[in-house]
């Protein structure tokens, strides 16, 4: 059975053209059906001297908008990999500064049903450091993990407790401001914390670990949409569910004034006022499942998703 293991944006006015863009993989952008390698700045995974894999392709089978998307799928000539490394790579023409940078894309992923299905990863790298700044990983078990600094200087994969839904398009967004990072699924925050490394972003990767299954990527955007309502420079919120204490924990750089928590059916199970930067809500009397927390601070309202397990 596979195991998850850790892996190790405009410089000036003249370079602004590189800091804001959307790639939809359409023919109007210069893309054509077939192998993604060497199409409009994209490459595929290398497989030896002068060799690149060939089954990571521009496809017309699925699209969240338009008619084409990037499809990544198993390379049958190679075995499954310990980590997601097979897929498409996009190198920016100029590094994307890590201050108030936003990266998003739409994904459509095959059904997960066994350890023989793939993990999929959307990541941002700093080529000079030779490592990921951060990434979001959709596992073969339906979970969502992120690569971050756990707050102690240790880089690790963290379970966001959120799940992804197979065979349906969903949007993923990563917002970075310096060392801070926040992850969203369909505009709902699922995790916020610290990036694994520092530095500008040189490259983006959409990859898998070469087991069974497929995934599509469309509308890959860089700095081409609004940031979330809670501006990093004004307010920073971290949140997590602690299964040991059955509590939902919130840390905020500005005072938390109220917390409302709703279950999956929309029932309001917690409604409290407070005035603190560290809030702990006891959920021991509530059942397991998906919850939404609406957090009111002095800087505005933020809604986050978490799973009680």
* 230 within domain boundaries: no
Give the span between the Cα atoms of 68 and 277, in whole angstroms: 46
Question: In which domain, by residue range, is 296 found?
Answer: 237-308
Residue 194, in any domain of the structure: yes
pLDDT level of residue 232 (50, 70, 90 thresholds): very low
3-state SS record for the chain? CCCCCCCCCCCCHHHHHHCCEEECCCHHHCCCCEECCCECCEEECEEECCEECCCCEEECCCCCCCCCEEEEECCCCCCCCCCCCEEEEEEEEEEECCCCEEEEEEEEECCCCCCCECCEEEEEEECCCCEEEEEEEECCCCEEEEEEECCCCCEEEEEEEEECCCCCCEEEEEEEECCEEEEEECCEEEEEEEECCCCCEEEEEEEECCCECEEEEEEEEECCCCCCCCCCCCCCEEEEEECCCCEEEEEEEEEEEEEEEEECCCCEEEEEEEEEEEEEEECCCCCCEEEEEEEEECCEEEEEEEEEC
pLDDT band at 176 (very low <50, low <70, confident <90, very high): very high
Last residue of a domain, one of 222, 253, 275: 222
> What CATH number does residue 160 fall under?
2.60.120.560
**Residue 214 and residue 122 share a domain:** yes
Q: Are residues 215 and 242 in the same domain?
A: no
Higher pLDDT, residue 211 or 10? 211
Question: Which pLDDT score is estimated for 299?
Answer: 76
CATH number of 289's domain = 2.60.40.3080
Confidence of residue 9 (pLDDT cuts 50, 70, 90): very low
My answer on whether 186 and 73 are in the same domain is yes
- Residues 175, 95 within the same domain: yes
Q: Is 301 part of any domain?
A: yes
Residue 13 reports pLDDT greater than 60: no
* 196 and 100 within one domain: yes
Structurally, the chain folds into a number of domains equal to: 2
In a domain, 229, yes or no: no
Residues 133 and 263 in one domain: no
Question: Of 153, 187, 222, at which residue does a domain stop?
Answer: 222
pLDDT at 7: 36
69-73, 134-138, 264-268, 289-293: least confidently modelled range: 264-268
Express each pLDDT in 29-40 by its tens digit: 999 999 999 999
- The per-residue pLDDT for 239 is 85
Residue 147 and residue 281 share a domain: no
pTM of the model: 0.72
Q: What is the mean pLDDT of the chain?
A: 87
Pick from 49-53, 122-126, 202-206: least confident: 49-53
pLDDT tier, 14 (very low <50, low <70, confident <90, very high otherwise): very low
Same domain, yes or no, for 177 and 253? no
Of 189, 222, 255, which residue sits at a domain end?
222
pLDDT in tens, 93-127: 999 988 889 999 999 999 987 778 999 999 999 88
User: Which residue has better confidence, 231 or 225?
Assistant: 225
Say what the pLDDT of residue 79 is. Answer: 93
The predicted pLDDT at position 19 comes to 63
Question: Looking at the domain assignment, is residue 231 inside a domain?
Answer: no
Q: Does 195 score more than 50 pLDDT?
A: yes
Asked if residue 1 belongs to a domain, the reply is: no
- Whether residues 77 and 188 fall in one domain: yes
**Domain for residue 71, yes or no?**
yes
| Statement to judge: residues 205 and 282 lie in one domain | no
């Amino acid at each position: 059975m596979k195991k998850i293991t850790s892996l190790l944006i405009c410089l000036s006015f003249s370079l602004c053209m590189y800091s804001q863009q959307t790639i939809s993989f359409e023919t109007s952008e210069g893309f054509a059906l077939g192998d993604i390698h060497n199409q409009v700045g994209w490459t595929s995974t290398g497989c030896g001297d002068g060799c690149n894999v060939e089954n990571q392709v521009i496809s017309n089978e699925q699209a969240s908008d338009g008619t084409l998307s990037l499809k990544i799928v198993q390379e049958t000539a190679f075995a499954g990999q310990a980590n997601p490394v097979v897929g498409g790579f996009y190198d920016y023409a100029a590094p994307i500064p890590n201050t108030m940078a936003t990266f998003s894309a739409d994904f459509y992923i095959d059904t997960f049903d066994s350890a023989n299905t793939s993990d999929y990863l959307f990541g941002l790298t700093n080529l000079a450091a030779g490592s990921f700044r951060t990434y979001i990983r959709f596992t073969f078990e339906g979970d969502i993990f992120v690569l971050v600094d756990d707050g102690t200087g240790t880089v690790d994969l963290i379970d966001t407790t959120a799940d992804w839904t197979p065979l349906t398009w969903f949007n993923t967004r990563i917002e970075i401001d310096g060392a801070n990072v926040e992850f969203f699924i369909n505009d709902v925050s699922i995790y916020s914390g610290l990036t694994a490394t520092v530095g500008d972003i040189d490259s983006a990767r959409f990859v898998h670990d070469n087991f069974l299954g497929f995934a599509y990527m469309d509308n890959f955007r860089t700095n081409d949409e609004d940031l979330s309502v809670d501006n990093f420079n004004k307010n920073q919120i971290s949140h997590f569910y602690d299964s040991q204490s059955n509590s939902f924990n919130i840390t905020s750089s500005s005072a938390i004034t109220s917390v409302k928590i709703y279950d999956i059916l929309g029932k309001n199970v917690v409604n409290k006022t407070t005035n603190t930067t560290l809030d702990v809500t006891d959920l021991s009397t509530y059942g397991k499942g998906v919850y939404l927390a609406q957090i009111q601070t002095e800087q505005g309202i933020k809604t986050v998703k978490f799973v009680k397990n």
